[in-house]
Amino acid sequence: MSVPTAFFDQLYQRSADPWDFRERWYEQRKRALTLACLPRQHYRSTYELGCANGELSAGLALRTEKLLCCDAAIKAVELARQRLRHCPNARVEQSRVPSEWPEGRFDLIVLSELAYYLDTDDVRRLVERILDSLAPDGHFLACHWRPAIEGCALTGEQVHTLLHECLGLERLAQHSEQDFVLEVWGRDPTSVASQEGLK
């Protein structure tokens, strides 16, 4: 069973930044690595799942023409809207994935620190949604904390193994360290250097 939305609502009742996204160097560094791992400098349309209070969203907004962010917790949505108030290309909606999903195609889908709150069946449904929405030249990025989290059905390691098995896409980038794993997949295996004509 996936973690209920009430769990996240309670976290945001206690703090506007439950995971210290703004202050901790670990989080700042991870955001920088996440943005650096994106194979393309600029995207047409980006969908960020589980945007929390919008810290990563602010970086993504600089790299895309249109950014759609979602989170299940209404307080997170309010905080993300405030964080992105100076980004006219960004929109934040309340929704719970994978049951609720936007229409349209995205050439970048970002899943950061969310999938271990889902059970295996929901992760598989999530992958189906991603594949249906990902543009032919699109990229999918996932980043997750590796150690086990109390109350979660999956670890970050298990999440990424499951994602890779179900996606059937080319893995374009992989960064793994003791704390987290970050990977990027796409349908086109051409490297960044090759796209720019370098051999």
All structural domains of the chain with their residue ranges: 5-195
| Helix (H/G/I), strand (E/B), else coil: 137 | strand
pLDDT 10s digit of each residue in the chain, 199 long?
Answer: 477 777 776 767 777 776 677 889 999 999 999 999 999 999 999 999 999 999 999 999 999 999 999 999 999 999 999 999 999 999 999 999 999 999 999 999 999 999 998 999 999 999 999 999 999 999 999 999 999 888 888 999 999 999 999 999 999 999 999 999 999 999 888 888 888 877 6
Asked if residues 136 and 172 have their Cβ atoms less than 8 Å apart, the reply is no
5-195 is classed in which CATH architecture? Answer: 3-Layer(aba) Sandwich (3.40)
Q: What is the pLDDT of residue 104?
A: 94
d(CA 76, CA 14): 12
Asked if residues 69 and 84 have their Cβ atoms less than 8 Å apart, the reply is yes
Q: What is the largest CA-CA distance in the chain?
A: 53
The residue length of the chain stands at 199
Please tell me what DSSP assigns to residue 66: E
Q: What is the pLDDT of residue 1?
A: 46
d(CA 175, CA 183): 6
If you average pLDDT over every residue of the chain, what do you get?
Answer: 92
Task: Find out whether the peptide bond into 189 is cis, omega within 30 degrees of 0.
Answer: no
Please tell me what DSSP assigns to residue 114: -
Q: What is the pLDDT of residue 199?
A: 66
Q: What is the pLDDT of residue 5?
A: 74
Asked if residues 91 and 117 have their Cβ atoms less than 8 Å apart, the reply is no
